[in-house]
Copies of this chain bind each other. A is one copy, B any other.
């Protein structure tokens, strides 16, 4: 099951065009809030359909019918996150556009509610969570490609710059240091990685 599939199933059932923000949307909101809270508080191991049903006060049969299993819940959390209107800031320079993205990534990986880290941990246990996370990130990197296009249009970097390679270079050090190496790096890490990638791009790195 892909996150899109979950979205489709849910939309069919909820008929959002006829009942926008109705009971069905309310049920989804309560269930996904419960999934996020359980994940942050207790981790993937303790995540169960019954715990989510109890916490959300939604009937168990409804939770099982709509989301089927824990993988379905995680996939829908990511599908919901992917459905937002997020766009990267347009600051007028490559350095500052990348710094803005990296500060958001840094905040997501170090904040009080470490839902991103919890979902990454879950992706090592659940194929559905891994698939949904891959789809989520692919979409986010696609949305960020406009940063590279704008820098090319301004003449800051070569028109042959590979957008994905540049964006991965800018963001990967944050995931590596904070999620895998687990270093207690300050937010300077976000700015350094952004500026280093911008410097590399201006020097002709990332050219296809």
Contact = CB atoms under 8 A, between A and B. Distances in A.
Interface stretch (A12-20, A62-70, A85-93, A172-180): A172-180
A181 interface: yes
B181 A134 contact: yes
User: For this complex, into which size category does the number of interface residues on chain A fall?
Assistant: 35 or more
Contacts of A138: 181
Nearest to A206: B196
A121 B44 CA distance: 13
A200 interface: yes
Nearest to A203: B203
Interface string A119-148: 011011100001001100110000000000
A202 interface: yes
Interface in A45-91: 45
A105 to B, nearest CB: 11
Nearest to A208: B192
A44 to B, nearest CB: 8
A138 B177 CA distance: 11
A42 interface: no
A165 interface: yes
B182 A169 contact: no
Nearest to A120: B180
Interface in A164-208: 165, 168-169, 171-173, 175-177, 179-183, 192-193, 195-197, 199-200, 202-206
13 contacts: A45-B125, A130-B182, A134-B183, A137-B181, A165-B196, A168-B173, A169-B169, A172-B177, A175-B180, A196-B200, A200-B200, A200-B203, A200-B205
